[in-house]
Structure 1
Amino acid sequence: MNGTKQNFLHIHPADNVLVALQQLDKGTTVQHNGSFITLVNDVAAKHKFTLYDMPAGENIYMYGVLVGKTSEAVPKGGAIHVHNVKHAAAGYHMGERKLQWNRPAVAAWKDKTFMGFHRADGSVGTANYWIVIPLVFCENRNVEVLKEAMAEALGYGKVNRYEQQVQQLVQLYKNGASAQQLEDAVLEDTFTEPLARRLFPNVDGIKFLTHDMGCGSTRSDAEALCGMLAGYCTHSNVAGVTVLSLGCQHAQVSILQQEIAKRDPQFQKPMVILEQQKEGTESQLMKKAIRQTFLGLVKANENTRRPAPLSKLCIGLECGGSDGFSGISANPAVGYTSDLLVALGGSVILSEFPELCGVEQELSDRCVDEANASRFMDLMRVYNNRAEAEGSGFYANPSPGNIRDGLITDAIKSAGAAKKGGTSPVTAVLDYPEKVTQPGLNLLCTPGNDVESTTAEVASGANIVLFTTGLGTPTGNPVAPVVKLSTNTRIFAKMPDIIDINCGTIIEGTETIQQAGERILQYVIDVASGLIQPKAVLKGQDDFIPWRRGVSL
């Protein structure tokens, strides 16, 4: 889509439906390729209507791929929805390598740098965090106790901006206000965040991560957890780590250390490891944790930002709360940003495998060799078969919000979601929780769950995440900046406190996909340099959910 003000869009020449770019009322006539189409239903913005009379069983194509099949006859100009269309996707097989791509011109970018934190392993971080992690859920309370002791004292505490509203209601109640008076009270919203008073100005924060895993499930779950946590320990945005272990759990310190060595054999970051069953009392554990973590922070504060080439960026590609505009605005704009970064020698990660259903053939053909293509197809088949065994295949992925806003089948959602990956060859296919080691486009097996997938992308090395949304999603991450991009201007205007970039300009015809993609890359550089803090960072949106390897769509 290259900037248009028409009221509908034909995405691909092979498509047999059109997308309404605005509300189109019943009786509206549109002209397409010399044919006049009169709508027989109201068609909401983001939804689709047919180019011709379709009998039951007719294939529906969008983005040039099969995305559904009519379950009943649909007249020309009829709206399609879940009542008359069901999910359908084409099969896939080992095909020929298709490695030609739309390589963008990057002369204007090749000498640009960002200001990052250089690590001993050669990676460069976009931030500088210390993390505190439990190896098992039994240690979550100790992590929280450590947070209460350290965060505020070191200048990293978050003031609750709504506390004054609670206090206002408390005072009214104490003064004898009735229930109706409490209901009608105008709550103040004039809070201003106090100025930062960090003790360690070069440390962006100390992050305290908790989870519900580490024991009580399968050993493979514990090993995957250790691999994921090792990804955070070795992450370019992490300066050092404090690990709290109970001692008897499945997720042993030795497993974590083995996983760290896989990712960084010469691991040199300061790392504090404490086991409660060895230390004894909580007091003894906390004293050691506080003293050793503080000394580690002193060391971490010695690192400062220095110039780094854009090839040191690794961008995670994510979407959540998607709508019918996702695949024609924000996602392809991010895809162009992805192509720019790949052409500059950087890395990008496309994940959410349930949302690649229907585009397997295209992506497998783009794999640089048959080994990667085979691995991708095998991971997709195993994942979908596991989901179907639980009574919920990939077809069940679209959420009620997705469906309401035009993504009525998983294949429609997937065809648009895959646009985030641009057009470059797939250089590697990774299974959770493997780490990115190749520049270029990496496919990472994760669920479609926003937080689980974002958590996994960062564990694999993403030092910035681009997150598109059409409905509004507040997801963030503890150590990697998450940049939110809206697919439409309405949601950008409605939720400016969580969304950073508006891509609704593409729908409105005031900006092309390429222009938006370049604007996004410049924003990424500014974020990577610490010049801009995305809304998720400002709000302390530290979402962190390890994937319990099972059926999660």
Structure 2
Amino acid sequence: MSGTTNTFLQIHPNDNVLVALKDLLKDTPISFNGHLFNLTTDVQAKHKFATGTMPAGSPVYMYGVLVGKTTQLVMQGEALSVKNLEHASGGFHLDERRLDWAKPDTSNWQSKTFMGYHRADGSVGTANYWLVIPLVFCENRNVDVMKQAFVEKLGYKKEKAYEQDVEQLIDLYKSGRTVEEILNADITDTPEGKNGKRLFPNIDGIKFLNHQLGCGGTRSDSDALCGLLAGYITHPNVAGATVLSLGCQHAQASILTAEIKKRDANFKKPLIILEQQKEGTETALMQKAIKRTFAALIEANKTERQPAPLSKLCIGLECGGSDGFSGISANPAVGYVSDLLVAMGGSVILAEFPELCGVEQELSDRCVDEPTAKRFIELMQTYNARAEESGSGFYANPSPGNIRDGLITDAIKSAGAAKKGGNSPVTAVLDYPEKVTQPGLNLLCTPGSDVESTTAEVASGANIVLFTTGLGTPTGNPVTPVIKLSTNTRIFDRMPDIIDINCGTIIEGTETIPQNADRILDYIIDVASGNAQPKAVQLGQDDFIPWKRGVSL
């Protein structure tokens, strides 16, 4: 980064806009590159303003890449907004490999380990869960019945005692209080409920992955679902699974088992598959499922944590509720962590292809060979073309919250989002729902939708997810700990119940990116060892949405 002061920042020397680090008023004097000018408009923190006058149609650069074009005359010192800027991004093509990168110093981390669950395929889990999965939405009710039967009795029920809040409101209503009095009543805070005493201390939980797919859609949708579920069943954080099938749906058990073998040819985990149309009555199905699952839990509980090198970590990189600080605080800090792990032989997953728009050339040039680069280019082009055909290309990705907080175009959002991937070479490009098989930086084709993308990263093998946010989001995952990192201190202070680490210290200048990254990696090791629980895990935030392969940004 260059041109930084305590009020504004030039991210790249070629940028012709500056980022406001705090709210700036009209007529504020700006001293930049030996020139002095005044702001011609108010500029909110996280937003951008022009370093010089730009006629309509002028290119706008951030992070050193094209991120938009002006739609009208923009004066020097004027704030950029949807009124004067539209999405634009540079073209991309197959070019020379650019694989040189400055590896970070890993000497402080090489001897460190985490305490994980070692699996027969050589992977190591950061948690130990049992799954109950419906192969088709028709089985969701039976899965819910199993959840009711198991969770509380085995000590996995989590609750926040809002029921007591409702009881207090009932008492007020019965005592004759008015609606206004009830609304203004001081409800006594009640402590968070905690897990009951676990019957199986080495099993972190039983997770129930309800979904709305498996039949009624295209065969490719059901095949992709089977691949996704196979990714969860073979995941290092999973001890085994119970699968409930109706029997007649597109997503057949035979397709699921074939996908499992594709990911683990010597699959040895306990796997219970039951078909309701074969078992007959619901009672027969549920009793068999419950008894066999309970017996399998007894065996799964025998697995204990053992030391593992950091190279066994596979980190998913995600962002959601992004803001104008994402690309200059949390995302670069996560990128530094990514480079540290890659340098030590670990794996990282950069996904959300709609949020790589505008940086395709850089990423394709970083691919280790031409076939890998070609696959990335083809996936990006095909995905965007499908979106364009439906009248919603990558340009439509930014949400109203993104735009409100400074991410005016998809290219601005993407250029900052890509920083999560650090600087290392791209070792593999994966299409949904393929599995990570190589160490290093992996690009995974997913939508930008937070939960769909996180769901996919975990299916590909992420045993920890780093999730950056500028606006705040409670997103989690059923089997992989999701660590939430704020881009700014304000949201960290406002939403401490869902955010784990503050990266706003980078904006404030009290911490460098490497210092923040060290703090993140320390926390990753604690979480991976079971010594710390991210807020999403504490809240039981078990978000799971398979991607119905169509247009989802």
TM-score by length of 2: 0.99
Give me the whole-angstrom Cα distance separating, in 2, the residues matched to 1:491 and 1:195. 28
Is 1:274 aligned to 2:293, yes or no? Answer: no
Alignment partner, residue 448 of structure 2: 448
Alignment partner, residue 223 of structure 1: 223
Alignment partner, residue 512 of structure 1: 512
User: Which segments of 5 or more consecutive residues in structure 1 lack a partner in the other structure?
Assistant: none
Is this contact kept in 2: 1:137–1:214, CA < 8 A? Answer: yes
Give me the whole-angstrom Cα distance separating, in 1, the residues matched to 2:177 and 2:270. 55
Is 1:243 aligned to 2:243, yes or no? Answer: yes
Q: Alignment partner of 1:241: what SS?
A: strand
Alignment partner, residue 170 of structure 2: 170
Is 1:340 aligned to 2:340, yes or no? Answer: yes
- How far residue 519 of structure 1 moved from its aligned partner, in angstroms, is 1.1
Is this contact kept in 2: 1:4–1:507, CA < 8 A? Answer: no
Is this contact kept in 2: 1:99–1:368, CA < 8 A? Answer: yes
Alignment partner, residue 294 of structure 1: 294
Give me the whole-angstrom Cα distance separating, in 1, the residues matched to 2:161 and 2:534. 18
Alignment partner, residue 358 of structure 1: 358
Is 1:476 aligned to 2:467, yes or no? Answer: no
- Give deviations 1:453-512, integer Å, cap 9, x for gaps: 000000000000000000001100000000000000000000000000000000000111
Q: Alignment partner of 2:429: what SS?
A: strand
Alignment partner, residue 124 of structure 1: 124
Opposite residue 385 of structure 2, the aligned amino acid is N
Alignment partner, residue 316 of structure 2: 316
Give the 5 Å matches for 1:46-445. 46-194=46-194, 196-445=196-445
- How far residue 3 of structure 1 moved from its aligned partner, in angstroms, is 12
- How far residue 157 of structure 1 moved from its aligned partner, in angstroms, is 1.1
CA shift in 2, pair 1:195/1:288, >3 Å: closer
- Give deviations 1:137-159, integer Å, cap 9, x for gaps: 00000000100011000000122
Is this contact kept in 2: 1:318–1:351, CA < 8 A? Answer: yes
Q: Alignment partner of 1:267: what SS?
A: coil
Higher relative contact order (CA 8 A, sep 6+): 1
Opposite residue 417 of structure 1, the aligned amino acid is A
- Give deviations 1:406-465, integer Å, cap 9, x for gaps: 000000000000000000000000000000000000000000000000000000000000
Give me the whole-angstrom Cα distance separating, in 1, the residues matched to 2:483 and 2:312. 18
Give me the whole-angstrom Cα distance separating, in 2, the residues matched to 1:338 and 1:158. 32
Give me the whole-angstrom Cα distance separating, in 1, the residues matched to 2:161 and 2:254. 42
Give me the whole-angstrom Cα distance separating, in 1, the residues matched to 2:3 and 2:176. 59
Superposed CA RMSD in Å reads 1.1
CA shift in 2, pair 1:431/1:73, >3 Å: same
Alignment partner, residue 41 of structure 2: 41
Alignment length, in residue pairs?
Answer: 553
- How far residue 181 of structure 1 moved from its aligned partner, in angstroms, is 2.2
Give me the whole-angstrom Cα distance separating, in 1, the residues matched to 2:505 and 2:175. 51
- Give deviations 1:24-53, integer Å, cap 9, x for gaps: 100001111101121000000000001111
- How far residue 306 of structure 1 moved from its aligned partner, in angstroms, is 0.3
- How far residue 5 of structure 1 moved from its aligned partner, in angstroms, is 5.5
Is this contact kept in 2: 1:2–1:506, CA < 8 A? Answer: no
Is this contact kept in 2: 1:3–1:510, CA < 8 A? Answer: no
Task: Choose 223-232 or 32-41, whichever is displaced more.
Answer: 32-41
Give me the whole-angstrom Cα distance separating, in 2, the residues matched to 1:137 and 1:51. 55
Is this contact kept in 2: 1:69–1:86, CA < 8 A? Answer: yes
Alignment partner, residue 538 of structure 2: 538
Opposite residue 225 of structure 2, the aligned amino acid is L
Give me the whole-angstrom Cα distance separating, in 2, the residues matched to 1:290 and 1:316. 33
Opposite residue 296 of structure 1, the aligned amino acid is A
Opposite residue 306 of structure 2, the aligned amino acid is R
- How far residue 195 of structure 1 moved from its aligned partner, in angstroms, is 5.6
- How far residue 161 of structure 1 moved from its aligned partner, in angstroms, is 2.1
- How far residue 177 of structure 1 moved from its aligned partner, in angstroms, is 2.5
Opposite residue 189 of structure 1, the aligned amino acid is D
- How far residue 108 of structure 1 moved from its aligned partner, in angstroms, is 1.1
Is this contact kept in 2: 1:2–1:512, CA < 8 A? Answer: no
- How far residue 168 of structure 1 moved from its aligned partner, in angstroms, is 1.3
Opposite residue 146 of structure 2, the aligned amino acid is L
Give me the whole-angstrom Cα distance separating, in 2, the residues matched to 1:195 and 1:455. 25
Give me the whole-angstrom Cα distance separating, in 1, the residues matched to 2:476 and 2:52. 44
Give me the whole-angstrom Cα distance separating, in 1, the residues matched to 2:463 and 2:258. 23
Opposite residue 86 of structure 1, the aligned amino acid is E
- How far residue 102 of structure 1 moved from its aligned partner, in angstroms, is 1.9
Give me the whole-angstrom Cα distance separating, in 2, the residues matched to 1:146 and 1:391. 42
Is this contact kept in 1: 2:160–2:192, CA < 8 A? Answer: no
- How far residue 172 of structure 1 moved from its aligned partner, in angstroms, is 2.0
Is this contact kept in 1: 2:135–2:245, CA < 8 A? Answer: yes
Is this contact kept in 2: 1:2–1:509, CA < 8 A? Answer: no
Is this contact kept in 2: 1:318–1:450, CA < 8 A? Answer: yes
Give me the whole-angstrom Cα distance separating, in 2, the residues matched to 1:24 and 1:159. 44
Task: Choose 514-523 or 453-462, whichever is displaced more.
Answer: 514-523
Opposite residue 52 of structure 1, the aligned amino acid is G
Q: Alignment partner of 2:374: what SS?
A: helix
Give me the whole-angstrom Cα distance separating, in 1, the residues matched to 2:223 and 2:450. 22
Q: Alignment partner of 2:114: what SS?
A: strand
- Give deviations 1:334-363, integer Å, cap 9, x for gaps: 000000000000000000000000000000
- Give deviations 1:289-333, integer Å, cap 9, x for gaps: 111111111111000000000000000000000000000000000
Give me the whole-angstrom Cα distance separating, in 2, the residues matched to 1:256 and 1:189. 47
Alignment partner, residue 8 of structure 1: 8
Give me the whole-angstrom Cα distance separating, in 2, the residues matched to 1:173 and 1:5. 56
Give me the whole-angstrom Cα distance separating, in 2, the residues matched to 1:222 and 1:5. 53
Q: Percent identity?
A: 73
- Give deviations 1:369-409, integer Å, cap 9, x for gaps: 00010000000000000001000000000000000000000
Give me the whole-angstrom Cα distance separating, in 2, the residues matched to 1:3 and 1:330. 19
Q: Alignment partner of 2:100: what SS?
A: coil
- Give deviations 1:258-283, integer Å, cap 9, x for gaps: 00000001111011111111111111
Opposite residue 314 of structure 1, the aligned amino acid is C
Is this contact kept in 1: 2:4–2:10, CA < 8 A? Answer: no
Q: Alignment partner of 1:197: what SS?
A: coil
Give me the whole-angstrom Cα distance separating, in 1, the residues matched to 2:8 and 2:39. 12
Give me the whole-angstrom Cα distance separating, in 2, the residues matched to 1:3 and 1:282. 68
Opposite residue 26 of structure 2, the aligned amino acid is K
Opposite residue 268 of structure 2, the aligned amino acid is Q
Alignment partner, residue 488 of structure 2: 488
- How far residue 173 of structure 1 moved from its aligned partner, in angstroms, is 2.0
Give me the whole-angstrom Cα distance separating, in 1, the residues matched to 2:490 and 2:397. 25
TM-score by length of 1: 0.99
- How far residue 107 of structure 1 moved from its aligned partner, in angstroms, is 1.1
Instruction: List structure 1 runs of 4+ shifted beyond 6 angstroms.
Output: none
Q: Alignment partner of 1:317: what SS?
A: strand
Is this contact kept in 2: 1:476–1:541, CA < 8 A? Answer: yes
- How far residue 174 of structure 1 moved from its aligned partner, in angstroms, is 2.6
Give me the whole-angstrom Cα distance separating, in 1, the residues matched to 2:47 and 2:184. 39
Opposite residue 358 of structure 1, the aligned amino acid is G
Alignment partner, residue 459 of structure 1: 459
- Give deviations 1:202-235, integer Å, cap 9, x for gaps: 0000001100000000000000000000000000
